[in-house]
């Protein structure tokens, strides 16, 4: 297992906010737009230091996408920000036609994604957003795992030329990736090497996958664990190299089983190297109100679920 140090807990949205503060000081072309949720997106310091580079769109997300596209075509680097439910489903037509089709340099920064939004319930707990975004031509889709990686991913998104969907969350989660680790779009990060089972995790599920890998290794199971922080472009080379070594795979994500990381991996393997695959994901249902921890357990997205999925994958491999 790759060595790591726990540095407390912080929400990934704060990683975005702190990166925006840095970008405000270092890149004069970066601007921010928000749909009446600047506090939730942690944009306070950016706004205070750069009042002329912040645009409050109000509860008019479709208009915000259009304004952001215009700013991009005018040479700015706009980050359009709101909750993930509003950043994707509510404005899909505008993103498709104005951003993706035009290959505009717009960064869609989507907070409060997934089941860990918690008490706000099903209407706000979007778990289809990765699928919606990855189907769009030209769109990069990034789902970082902790505060440090979200901060680094935001900086990388600003430097990338083209549309980016950046997904992050509300709750405080463990901080365990190195503070100074470079973020390379489309390149997986290896956390452990083994020959028994591949585990591919993204976003908040990465920490659960690390804990699961530690438990499995204590049982004598060799785990090949990869952090797939970029859903599109997928690191196909790293994934195929891993599954050719282990012969089975578990995909872990805080997203619908349909359309997410697992779906992308399944398509890759079907074309190149079919192996038994198990999913740790939401199985075709809406969320509900509860604490993030309660919901992760109820929706089978916790560490024991990753361990169980790994055992199922290995058992299926034996039966082939």
Catalytic residue IDs: 61
Q: Which two tokens stand for residue 124?
A: 């706000």
List Cα–Cα distances, 285 to 130, 148, 179, 278, 295, in angstroms: 16, 31, 36, 18, 13
Q: What is the CA radius of gyration of the chain?
A: 19
Report d(CA 22, CA 15) in Å as an integer: 11
The H helix count followed by the E strand count for the chain is 12, 14
Residue 295 · residue 288 · CB < 8 Å: yes
Cα angle 144, 206, 137; round to 5? 45
- Transcribe 19-64 into DSSP letters: HHHHHHHH-TTEEEEESS-TTTTT-HHHHHH-GGGEEE--S-HHHH
Report d(CA 299, CA 205) in Å as an integer: 12
Residue 227 · residue 252 · CB < 8 Å: no
Residue 43 · residue 32 · CB < 8 Å: yes
Report d(CA 83, CA 249) in Å as an integer: 31
CA 179 to chain centre: 18
Length of the chain: 320
């Amino acid at each position: 297992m790759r060595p790591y140090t726990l540095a407390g807990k912080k929400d990934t949205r704060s990683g975005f906010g702190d990166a925006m503060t840095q970008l405000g000081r270092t890149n004069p072309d970066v601007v921010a737009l928000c749909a009446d949720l600047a506090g939730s997106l942690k944009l306070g310091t950016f706004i205070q230091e750069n009042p002329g580079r912040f645009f409050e769109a109000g509860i008019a997300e479709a208009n915000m996408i259009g304004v952001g596209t215009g700013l991009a075509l005018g040479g700015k680097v706009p980050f359009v920000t709101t909750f993930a439910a509003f950043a994707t489903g509510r404005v899909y037509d505008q993103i498709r036609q104005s951003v993706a089709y035009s290959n505009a340099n717009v960064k869609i920064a989507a907070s409060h994604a997934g089941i860990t939004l918690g008490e706000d319930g099903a209407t706000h707990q979007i778990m289809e957003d990765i699928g919606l975004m990855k189907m769009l031509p030209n769109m990069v889709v990034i789902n970082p795992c902790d505060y440090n990686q979200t901060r680094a991913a935001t900086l990388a998104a600003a430097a990338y030329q083209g549309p980016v969907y950046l997904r992050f969350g509300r709750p405080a989660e463990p901080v365990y990736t190195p503070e100074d680790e470079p973020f390379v779009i489309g390149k997986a990060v290896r956390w452990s090497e083994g020959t028994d089972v591949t585990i591919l995790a993204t976003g908040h599920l990465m920490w659960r996958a690390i804990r699961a890998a530690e438990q499995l290794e204590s049982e004598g199971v060799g785990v090949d664990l990869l952090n797939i922080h970029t859903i599109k472009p997928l690191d196909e080379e790293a994934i195929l190299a891993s599954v050719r070594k282990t012969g089975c795979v578990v995909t872990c994500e805080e997203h619908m089983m349909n359309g997410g990381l697992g779906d992308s991996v399944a398509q890759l393997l079907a074309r190149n190297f079919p192996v038994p695959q198990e999913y740790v994901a939401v199985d075709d249902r809406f969320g509900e109100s509860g604490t993030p921890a309660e919901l992760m357990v109820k929706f089978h997205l916790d560490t024991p679920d990753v361990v169980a999925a790994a055992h199922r994958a290995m058992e299926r491999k034996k039966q082939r």
